[in-house]
Amino acid sequence: MSDMFLIVGLGNPGREYANTRHNIGFRCVDALAARHSLAFEDKKRSKAKIALGNIQGYRVLLAKPQTYMNLSGGAVQGLAAFYQIPPAQIMVIFDDLDLPVGTLRIRPKGGSGGHKGVTSIIQRLGTRDFPRIRVGIGRPDTPMDPASYVLRPFDGPEEAEVAGAVERVILAIETWLTDGIDPAMNRYNGSPEDIAQRAAPTSLAAEDDHDS
């Protein structure tokens, strides 16, 4: 077993997909790499672009599969096998149509929820027991084929929500590495409003203690 952690962002390769809703996983790992001064290598390994380094004192491998979304599992399986990384140390970040834009849902394991990239990973790893972060991309206000919708960019007003979500994904991953999945879930699951509400009682209690 390796002491390395694999952090996978799902998306489609190619400039035409770069800013689409379906590529929020790529966007998150790119932001994580930038935060910790990690660089993706020009050469692909196991059909993925990778960046090796350290985050919070832990060895990490960041990956962006280049197989197109529906075949993501091959890249993840190849990297996990090469670096001997167990499923519990593989974090997968991907988009979720059923969550409002910017909302996070962090889980230690589970099904694919119909997401074909995650379905591919489950099939190739042979298990559903790997942590994941779903990032809400919302559903269209008007009737539209979901396959077309996920390949559209975020609207201008949504960008601030998306940027905030990417920042919370980074914080959640850092927490997962240092403290485990449960603290990451407790702190960062939900919308910004959910997180603020959970933090409010603690803040008020701290003020009461200070006043006394």
3-state secondary structure of 185: helix
C-alpha span between 182 and 184 (Å, rounded):
5
**DSSP states of 147-183:** HHHTTSBPPGGGHHHHHHHHHHHHHHHHHHHHH-HHH
22 is catalytic: yes
Say which of 22, 36, 115, 210 is annotated catalytic.
22
The neighbouring-strand residues paired with 135 are 95, 104
The neighbouring-strand residues paired with 45 are 48
Each residue of 126-162: b (16+ CB within 10 Å) or e?
eeeebbbbbbbbbeeeeeeeeeebbeeebeeebeebb
At position 208, the amino acid (one-letter code) is D
**N- to C-terminal Cα separation, the chain:** 50
Catalytic residues: 22
